[in-house]
Structure 1
């Protein structure tokens, strides 16, 4: 009589291994034309590189990149909840400009008496206070001596 064989059935593979996932990704990239695009870019690498370097090597381009990075750093230093509050207030102010200008079309100028009444209006002064604070801060910052951005943001002096 024959002896019994000890054979264990291998488990069914439910998940892809890395090799299968890579093969599937490569096939999808090929089907959608990304492999061809990548090959074309690699073949034209020197030409594309020359165009990019020539475009970025202009003073205006360098200034634009530096200014963009400064804007990102400045906006990045504002807490999101405050930035959201400022954006919503700015949006509301922009939306209020047209209706306010339409209301004033048929009105006459207030004259000297009207101006004196406005000067004594506490509600007007309370609503103008944030605008005055913005102007005061802006003027203070404008009066500061200009310095390189690296020095202003990091405190480290630069060599020029």
Structure 2
């Protein structure tokens, strides 16, 4: 008599295979027109490159790219925790301004000159305003300096222009 064979039925496939997923992706790209767009871009490669280069060759575009680059360099010098602190303080300040603006029924009398002087004499108020005045002083002193070309400031190399 023959020996009994052990045959286990493989489990049913619950997820598509990589080939099925790739085929499905390709079909969806074709159905939504992305493949045609990609083909047209490849065929028109030189015309698209010419349009991009012509657009980048404009003085306004060059200035914008340089300004964006300078902004990114300046932001890279601020540690993330300080930048987050600045953004949270700015957000809180904007919220306080809009709350005051949106609640006209809570009007307070103007302090006048003597009231303003008294406010400046208040230690708590002065401690809260001191960072603002420090920032204004730093900003003002930076504006008084002779401006360098960005390449000189960030690389230490002098520019020819």
Do the structures match in fold with TM over 0.5? Answer: yes
1:137 and 2:134 aligned: no
Shift of 1:146: 1.1
Q: Could you tell me which residue of structure 1 aligns to residue 119 of structure 2?
A: 118
Q: 1:115 to 1:104 in 2, by over 3 A?
A: farther
Residues 99-145 of structure 1 show CA distances to partners (whole Å, capped at 9, x for unaligned) of 23436863232234323322321111111100011001101111111
Q: 1:108 to 1:56 in 2, by over 3 A?
A: same
- 8 Å CA contact 1:30–1:36 kept in 2: the answer is no
TM-score (normalizing by structure 1): 0.75
- Consecutive unaligned residues in structure 2, runs of 5 or more: 1-17
- Consecutive unaligned residues in structure 1, runs of 5 or more: 1-20
Residues 68-116 of structure 1 show CA distances to partners (whole Å, capped at 9, x for unaligned) of 1111111111111111111111111111112234368632322343233
Q: Could you tell me which residue of structure 1 aligns to residue 91 of structure 2?
A: 91
Shift of 1:53: 1.7
**RMSD (CA atoms):** 2.6
1:127 and 2:124 aligned: no
Q: Could you tell me which residue of structure 2 aligns to residue 146 of structure 1?
A: 147
Q: Could you tell me which residue of structure 2 aligns to residue 58 of structure 1?
A: 58
TM-score (normalizing by structure 2): 0.74
Residue 92 of structure 2 aligns to a residue whose secondary structure is helix
Q: 1:112 to 1:77 in 2, by over 3 A?
A: closer
